[in-house]
């Protein structure tokens, strides 16, 4: 199972489906092949929505990204083991 976390606080944001994880990987920029974290702000959410990211993923992220000010760093972890 893949789960999404707030990188600064360690708080669980939610579980990701394979499709939701693919949306993050395909639509957002990674700094390296091992990169598993992203900076998400309101502009990023708008971008994801414009590019037809999964609606449930967007709802999950919107609940954690502040309306005003800075965004958050998120990271996904494969917790199958």
59-76 pLDDT per residue, tens: 999 999 998 889 999 999
Q: What's the pLDDT at 69?
A: 83
pTM value?
A: 0.88
Q: How far is CA 75 from CA 34, 36, in A?
A: 12, 5
The domain segmentation of the chain, as residue ranges, is: 2-78
Q: How far is CA 27 from CA 32, 46, 65, 66, in A?
A: 15, 12, 18, 21
Higher pLDDT, 35 or 1: 1
Handedness of CA 38, 51, 20, 29 (dihedral sign): negative
Judge whether 16 and 75 are in contact, CB under 8 Å: no
């Amino acid at each position: 199972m893949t789960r999404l976390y707030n990188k600064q606080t360690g708080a669980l944001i939610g579980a990701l489906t394979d499709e939701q994880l693919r949306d993050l990987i395909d639509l957002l920029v990674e700094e390296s092949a091992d990169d598993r974290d992203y900076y998400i702000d309101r502009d990023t959410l708008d971008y994801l929505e414009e590019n037809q990211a999964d609606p449930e993923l967007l709802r999950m992220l919107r609940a954690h990204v502040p309306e005003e000010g800075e965004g958050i760093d998120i990271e996904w972890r494969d917790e199958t083991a």
